[in-house]
Structure 1
């Protein structure tokens, strides 16, 4: 049976609090008692667990990460950044897939509370009032990653989604495309839906291009299969388009798949640009041009901010906007000129 702090205290003939001081503030314990405790620890092969340390410091060194869909390609680099930041501070992550379900989310938060986590990172989704109230009730420090909230003063890290979508569209216009379609997430999504749609439409307006939003924008859910169908619908109503802006790399890959299966060449007939900068963007054929978020940095900075909140340190700006960039590959070419 694994030795406990109580076993160490008994063998060394000291109190449990003395063992705790030896483990965490040894300079506060007289050398004679300190030596007895260290000898007992070696004899029993005692190793304090996270819960024991948490009872001493009111911390467990554990952070919860809530993700709406762990299967999304977007999260691998974000989680790598989170892991590296957590490991640098001797913390660990508990990664939880909420499946965008309020009931599942609330159940997860109760489990995290029972595990005495130190704080939570909320990713991608808008923060609903019931979850905010539960965070307050459970006394969880919270940082938002790849999302933000204007309703609550919570620290966040994300790109400017509207400007990134604007720049992606301007890039296509700069390559000579004037008939540009878009496949997007739901318009009522205030994080990656509506802002990216507005950026796309603003770019068309600023460059005085004629467009009908009902024709050139197609909405859908976030998975590959939904995006494939969205591209099918978009091409059916806007066959004359020469370029497509997809509001995620997964959507862009779905668009390329649909076009390829229907003998429409990418980029010769229709250029495609994505959004996110996932690893898969560089593995497709053709390799995907995309407006890239600094996914690793978003994850890293979110954990860094959360640890500062937990430790009572100054976090700097409340809402951090990280820069995006366009990565040029092979899925966009200059608009073919009519013969």
Structure 2
């Protein structure tokens, strides 16, 4: 039979109320008593019942994370950062794959409400009015990751996508490239599409060189398959580009794969830079130069902000994280 809180109290020679206060981080005990009780809990292998703890603390020690996909390395790194932080504080994470589907997102939000989660982290999607209404009704803290809301006062953790895109394009310009194509997200996507396109265009305009030509191929997502399709359009376009800026690593690797099928050598014939700096960038052949987002740290920071809000009731300050240019082997100077 699994040990109970009564067993812990008996072996530690304290009251059940004292064990409960220690488990729920309430005052009323000495450091010596806390150390003794925690040692007994470890010795017995006691696992506090989350529901019972929730009745006392009004918390379930679970948080909800909504993500548009769980399949790519971008999502995995952010989720790792969130889960590690939550685990250190003794909380569990309920992960919901929304698939960028509005009805599915609302369904998951209702599930999280039924589970009485203590807070929500919303990753890489636009915070629609209907989502915010449901979250507001839940009366729990919310943090956005790799997205932000112009409409609602919700704290966020992200990189400045416009500046990072500017830096990627500027990097190619400094290598001597002037005819630079961009494989972008949707021009209607206000989160990752519009800002990155604006940064790309701003860098070309800032160059002030008549030879600096733009070519934007929009995609509906940031997948490998979309990168292949976009690259076909670029290769067959009259503007013979010397470099490509892809707004995700998966798009970049898809573009490289298509280029290889057409006998185009990377970087001898065509330079490519990606965006995110996931492990895929390191594993590609050749290794992909990329704009680096600190994805794990972004996830970790969002969890830190969420737990701070849960504990203090105060809204956390939004956080812009630094980006980098990770130079590898897919960009050459001309």
- What TM-score, normalized by structure 2, do the two folds share? 0.87
Task: Give the structure with higher Rg (CA).
Answer: 1
Correspondence 1:134-173 to 2 at 5 A: 134-173=134-173
Q: Deviations over 1:72-130 (max 9, x none)?
A: 22112111111221122222211110011111111111111121210000000110010
Match of 1:237, SS state, is coil
Gaps of at least 5 residues in structure 2 are 30-40
Correspondence 1:317-328 to 2 at 5 A: 318-328=317-327
2:263 match: 263
Taking the aligned partners of 2:253 and 2:298, their CA distance within structure 1 comes to 23
Give the one of 24, 33, 40 matched to 2:21. Answer: 24
The 1:198/1:262 distance shift into structure 2, 3 A limit, reads same
1:241 match: 241
1:229 match: 229
Is the 8 Å Cα contact of residues 290 and 327 (structure 2) preserved in structure 1? Answer: yes
The 1:188/1:19 distance shift into structure 2, 3 A limit, reads same
Is the 8 Å Cα contact of residues 181 and 238 (structure 1) preserved in structure 2? Answer: no
1:220 match: 219
Taking the aligned partners of 1:88 and 1:3, their CA distance within structure 2 comes to 23
Query: Post-superposition shift, 1:208?
Result: 1.6
2:197 match: 197
Is the 8 Å Cα contact of residues 244 and 272 (structure 1) preserved in structure 2? Answer: yes
Taking the aligned partners of 2:19 and 2:178, their CA distance within structure 1 comes to 71
Match of 1:96, SS state, is strand
Is the 8 Å Cα contact of residues 61 and 118 (structure 1) preserved in structure 2? Answer: yes
Query: Post-superposition shift, 1:232?
Result: 0.9
Is the 8 Å Cα contact of residues 166 and 199 (structure 1) preserved in structure 2? Answer: yes
Taking the aligned partners of 1:27 and 1:168, their CA distance within structure 2 comes to 52
User: Does residue 93 of structure 2 align to residue 93 of structure 1?
Assistant: yes
Query: Post-superposition shift, 1:330?
Result: 0.1
Taking the aligned partners of 2:314 and 2:133, their CA distance within structure 1 comes to 24
- What TM-score, normalized by structure 1, do the two folds share? 0.86
Gaps of at least 5 residues in structure 1 are 13-17, 30-40
Taking the aligned partners of 2:27 and 2:187, their CA distance within structure 1 comes to 60
Taking the aligned partners of 2:294 and 2:59, their CA distance within structure 1 comes to 30
Taking the aligned partners of 1:183 and 1:163, their CA distance within structure 2 comes to 17
Runs of 4+ in 1 over 6 A off after TM superposition: 1-5
Query: Post-superposition shift, 1:22?
Result: 3.7
Match of 2:290, SS state, is strand
Taking the aligned partners of 1:311 and 1:67, their CA distance within structure 2 comes to 24
Q: Deviations over 1:265-319 (max 9, x none)?
A: 1000000000001011001111000010011110000000000111116565x22
Is the 8 Å Cα contact of residues 61 and 117 (structure 1) preserved in structure 2? Answer: yes
